[in-house]
Structures are given as structure tokens and as C-alpha cells.
Amino acid sequence: MRFIFLTILTALLVVFLNPIAPYWAVMLGIGVVSALIYPNGIGGWMGGGLGMGLTWLGQTIYLGIITSSSLPNKMGELMGLGSGMSLIGVTAVLGFILGGFSGWTGVLFRNMLQKQTKDIYRG
């Protein structure tokens, strides 16, 4: 449940914060949200990654359809990727990696701040 909640909150954060803030500010926001929701490590990685990656994928496809520009195809050819769809895929993978590391950082930061019990006999 926390994984799905983190994915939805990450997607909403990216949709509303990306137009007014740089990507690193969005990454900080994902880390804070992940620290507050506190999923496990893989849940933080996948929640942040899927939220940001799918949102970037959706936004690039939406902008490409709405503007009907030939710029993605030209940039794909310029970068040696072939078509504009491969450039959109690279953008989605990059968003997944950035969001995943942000979510995982939030989980690790929360783990670092939690007190761990010591002097307990575990026999």
C-alpha cells in the first residue's frame, strides 16, 4: 500500500513541481516524500522510479502529440538514436533512474535517523 501511495504522490509531485522547479528540486521532493511514507528499500526505489519515469514518459508523449513537432525526430537523429521514440524511451529510463535513486535516498535517510536498539540479547 505504501508503494502505491508513494508512486502516486511521486507522479503528482513531478507533474506539478516540474514546470516551476529544476529536476534536482523534484528529486529532493521525492526523497522527502519517501522518507515520510517510509516504504522498504525496494519499495522506495520502485515507487520513486515508476512515479517519475512514467510521468516523464507521459509528458513527453503528450507534448509530442499536442505540438506535432518534428523536433524529437531531429534530436533522435542528431544523437544517433534513430527516431524520436527512442529518445522518448531514453527520457523515461533516465526519469526512472533519477526517481529511483531519490526514493531510495529518502528511505536510507529515514533509516539513518531511526534509533536502533543496542544491548539486547538475541540468543
Residue 123 has pLDDT above 60, yes or no: no
- What global pTM score does this model have? 0.85
64, HSE (Cβ side, Cα atoms, 13 Å):
20
Task: Report CA torsion sign: 50, 52, 53, 58.
Answer: positive
pLDDT tens across 19-57, in order?
999 989 999 999 999 999 988 889 899 999 999 999 999
Predicted pLDDT at 122: 65
Question: Alpha-carbon distance 94 to 53, whole Å?
Answer: 7
104: nearest Cα among 10, 52, 35, 7 = 35
Domain boundaries along the sequence of the chain:
2-112
For the chain, the average pLDDT equals: 89
Angle between helices 84-113 and 2-17 (to 10 degrees): 120
Kindly give, in sequence order, each residue whose CB lies less than 8 Å from that of residue 21, ignoring residues fewer than 6 positions away.
none
Write out pLDDT tens, residues 87-108: 889 999 999 999 999 999 999 9
